[in-house]
Structure 1
Amino acid sequence: MTYPVRFKLDPTVDGLELVRQWMDAGLEVGGFLQRLGARPVEAREGFVRFLLDVDVGHLNLMGIVHGGVTAAIVDMAGASAVMTVLTPGQTLATTDLTTRFLNAAPGGAKQLEATGTLTYRDDRKATVAVQVATDTGVVVAQGSVGVAIRAPR
């Protein structure tokens, strides 16, 4: 199944507004985000909260949520927290990603929640601390995302 990207980045609005538009679009943004089933549900300057509804397609052969799914939501929450502080026309790219797996996310979990909080920012880069937990509050992973901030083109 393919999910063409349908979300358009408007270079005339700031990053927080883009994240809010993304929240309004939900999973209908297309691409990898729709395939994974992750979506932002809360955003303010320097902070985002993502939800991912766990389904059998997220599980590994042991019946737990695949680590790649967890790492992907760490990346999304981290980059999106930086997105909330961008000025119109700026873009970003993840430059490094660390994920420390603390507990297995059981296949029976209904959701994963990832929160990203901006911890450092200058004109060209930012870092974000991310935590991922199950719907029952079990912390699955903690991570750090480094992001390059690119000037408008």
Structure 2
Amino acid sequence: MDHKNLSGLELMEAVADGQIPPAPISGIVPMKIIEVSSGYIKFFASADKRHINPLGGVHGGFAATVLDSVTGCAVHTMLEAGVGYGTTDLSIKMLKAIPLYKELTAEGKVIHLSKKIGVSEGTLKDAEDNLYACATATCLIYR
């Protein structure tokens, strides 16, 4: 499947369905798309021993990577084929220590989209709806 001819939504749907492999970063920070629609995306993510910092907790980069991915992908779902984006600002609030080996849900949704800028917000929660981190992202759109 030639992903260059797909809209952002079509590309994310193809990744979710296994027709296109996920981004290589999901081999380092396990993330899997479980739901996608225009302006919205949901991932499963789980920290493991590769993400432990020198103090024994999960490194903040785990949540940052997941939230950057989910907020950027939410913007991508609203872009037509051939249009790219890049995160220019990511603001994260770490609210609780990320647990090891626990399946978390990351959700991203677009709150503003213009021809040049996309703004989205994201959350990282567990199945009990405990909020571990949240973020807002600004993406520059390349046309």
TM-score (norm 2): 0.90
Is structure 2 residue 139 aligned with structure 1 residue 147? Answer: yes
Structure 2, unaligned runs of 5 or more: none
Mapped to 2, the partners of 1:39 and 1:142 lie a distance apart of 18
- Root-mean-square deviation (CA, aligned residues, Å) is 2.0
For the residue of structure 2 that corresponds to 1:36, the secondary structure is coil
Q: Percent identity?
A: 25
Contact 2:47–2:98 (8 Å) recurs in 1: no
Instruction: List, as ranges, runs of 4+ consecutive aligned residues in structure 1 with deviation greater than 6 Å.
Output: none
State the partner residue of 1:3.
none
Contact 1:105–1:134 (8 Å) recurs in 2: no
Give the residue type in structure 2 aligned to 1:100. Answer: K
Mapped to 2, the partners of 1:69 and 1:61 lie a distance apart of 14
State the partner residue of 1:93.
86
State the partner residue of 1:104.
97
CA shift for structure 1 position 40: 1.4
- Say if 1:27 and 1:16 are closer, same or farther in 2 by CA, change over 3 A: closer
CA shift for structure 1 position 121: 0.7
TM-score (norm 1): 0.84
Choose which of 35, 49, 59 in structure 2 pairs with 1:56: 49
Moved more, 50-59 or 12-21: 50-59
**In the comparison of the two structures, how many residue pairs are matched?**
143
State the partner residue of 1:14.
7
Contact 1:11–1:90 (8 Å) recurs in 2: no
